[in-house]
């Protein structure tokens, strides 16, 4: 087929990528291909005729001799792989990781061993790297598994704790609901009792006031200053008690929300002038009320009684908590809404207690020695909200208090509109 088969076979022999080494039964190398020289770093001339030993580290010579002699005595074909690995010695002295496949040839009555050799150092490195990575991965998995187990355990404990907390919270909420219902019942009972007592007090107080008026009338025939003084005092005390009872009756209506607004048209200045006139009866010695003249003709469509209660509570507080010979100043402005400011020179409200003054029955610590119920401002605030108005307090302890009320001229039921 070819002009020179020997040349063709030689080209094929040298072109094989794996190293081929053929040795006689003495272990001397008689033929190699180019790839073998490249693996060990030698030229062909440096290898041919030499024993195979020089391509193997000295520490492995005895093993090689045993294996080679055994192969010569009982030759077999051994494919590459399946553990057929050994160490080689490079020309530069470095160790090579090699893999070998064995076969044998008999030619002209002579025995030859044929070895097919591959350099597997790179593969070994990759295998070692893969093994190392696998070990690291296994270690990481173990670590992560341990951490996950710990986290799961913690979550289970937290879950149990949370269940206990939820259980306790439900129990506490149920107790709180029961307590709240009892408190509501108690508040209703208290309010009803206060209302009942207030109604019962109204009748005898009215009688006392009538009797005081008759005493004053009879005294006109034979004037006695002491009698007039005591009668005035009795009237003032009755007026104060009546105001307190009115507050309690309004408190019942506020709590039950049964109070229906009784709207009417009235002149605001008439209401203010009457309030100031009535308040003079309870002024302390030397006290006086200075009022910006209320001359504008504003007509309100509101519940006159509610407006009266709100302003009277604020004005009477100013008188009650101010000393003798002090001045209570009342100013009235009419723009889009009515603005009434009442300023006194009284004991004032401690800064830390100002946020509580609208709470029912609350009284500041410096007000405790002075008689009072602690419901006046609470009622004023509740009804101002109902009237769509507002109340603002500015106060400094020992300096006085300024209360600013704002009222719409016409009452509008915003809830009904909604």
In a domain, 186, yes or no: no
Which tokens sit at 381?
């605030």
In a domain, 366, yes or no: yes
In a domain, 127, yes or no: no
- Given 102, 119, 136, the domain boundary residue is 119
Asked if 378 and 329 touch (Cβ cutoff 8 Å), the reply is no
Residue 344, pLDDT above cutoff 90: yes
Q: What is the pLDDT of residue 416?
A: 36
CATH number for the domain spanning 377: value is 3.30.565.10
Which tokens sit at 360?
């029912």
Residue 133, pLDDT above cutoff 60: yes
Percentage of the residues of the chain whose pLDDT score is greater than 90: 23
- Given 119, 137, 161, the domain boundary residue is 119
Which tokens sit at 5?
């088969």
Cα–Cα distance for residue pair 330/313, rounded to 1 Å: 14
- Given 119, 154, 184, the domain boundary residue is 119
In a domain, 255, yes or no: no
Residues 155-172, mean pLDDT to the nearest whole number: 90
Q: What is the pLDDT of residue 417?
A: 34
Computed over every residue of the chain, the mean pLDDT equals 82
Residues 182-191, mean pLDDT to the nearest whole number: 69
In a domain, 32, yes or no: yes
In a domain, 383, yes or no: yes
In a domain, 337, yes or no: yes
Residue 391 pLDDT grade (very low, low, confident, very high; cuts 50, 70, 90): very high
* Residue 367 belongs to domain spanning: 260-417
In a domain, 182, yes or no: no
Residues 300-315, mean pLDDT to the nearest whole number: 89
**pLDDT, greater one: 131 or 122:** 131
**pLDDT, greater one: 362 or 185:** 362
CATH number for the domain spanning 74: value is 3.30.450.20
Name the domain count of the chain: 2
Residue 202, pLDDT above cutoff 60: no
Residue 245 pLDDT grade (very low, low, confident, very high; cuts 50, 70, 90): low
Residue 177 pLDDT grade (very low, low, confident, very high; cuts 50, 70, 90): confident
pLDDT in tens, 24-80: 999 999 999 999 999 999 998 999 999 999 999 999 899 888 888 888 888 888 887
Residue 415 pLDDT grade (very low, low, confident, very high; cuts 50, 70, 90): very low
């Amino acid at each position: 087929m070819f002009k020179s088969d020997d040349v063709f076979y030689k080209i094929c022999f040298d072109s094989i990528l794996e190293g081929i080494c053929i040795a006689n039964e003495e272990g001397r190398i008689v033929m190699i291909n180019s790839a073998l020289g490249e693996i060990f770093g030698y030229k062909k001339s440096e290898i041919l005729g030499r024993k195979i030993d020089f391509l193997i580290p000295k520490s492995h010579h005895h093993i090689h001799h045993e294996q080679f002699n055994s192969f010569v005595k009982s030759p077999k074909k051994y494919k590459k792989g399946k553990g057929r690995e050994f160490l080689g010695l490079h020309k530069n002295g470095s160790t090579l990781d090699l893999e070998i496949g064995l076969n044998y040839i008999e030619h002209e009555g002579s025995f030859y061993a044929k070895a097919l050799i591959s350099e597997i150092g790179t593969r070994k490195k990759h295998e070692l790297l893969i093994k190392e990575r696998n070990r690291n991965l296994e270690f990481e998995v173990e670590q992560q598994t341990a951490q996950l187990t710990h986290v799961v355990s913690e979550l289970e404990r937290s879950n149990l704790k949370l269940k206990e907390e939820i259980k306790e919270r439900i129990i506490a909420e149920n107790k709180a609901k029961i307590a709240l219902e009892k408190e509501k019942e108690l508040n209703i009972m208290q309010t009803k009792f206060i209302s009942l007592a207030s109604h019962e007090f109204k009748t005898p107080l009215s009688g006392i006031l009538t009797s005081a008026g008759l005493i004053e009338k009879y005294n006109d025939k034979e004037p006695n200053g002491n009698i007039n003084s005591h009668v005035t005092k009795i009237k003032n005390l009755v007026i104060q008690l009546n105001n307190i009872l009115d507050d309690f009756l309004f408190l019942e209506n506020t709590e039950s929300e049964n109070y229906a607004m009784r709207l009417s048209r009235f002149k605001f200045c008439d209401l203010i002038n009457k309030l100031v006139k009535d308040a003079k009866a309870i002024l302390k010695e030397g006290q006086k009320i200075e009022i910006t003249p209320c001359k504008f003709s504003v007509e309100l469509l509101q519940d006159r009684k509610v407006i009266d209660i709100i302003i009277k509570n604020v004005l009477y507080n100013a008188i009650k908590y101010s000393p003798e010979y002090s001045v209570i100043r009342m100013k009235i402005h009419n723009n889009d809404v009515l603005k009434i400011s009442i300023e006194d020179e009284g004991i004032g409200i401690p800064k830390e207690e100002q946020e509580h003054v609208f709470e029912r029955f609350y009284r500041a610590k410096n007000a405790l020695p002075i008689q009072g119920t602690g419901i006046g401002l609470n009622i004023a605030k509740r009804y101002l909200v109902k009237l769509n108005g507002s109340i603002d307090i500015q106060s400094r302890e020992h300096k006085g208090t300024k209360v600013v009320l704002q009222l719409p001229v016409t009452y509008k039921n915003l809830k009904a509109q909604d």
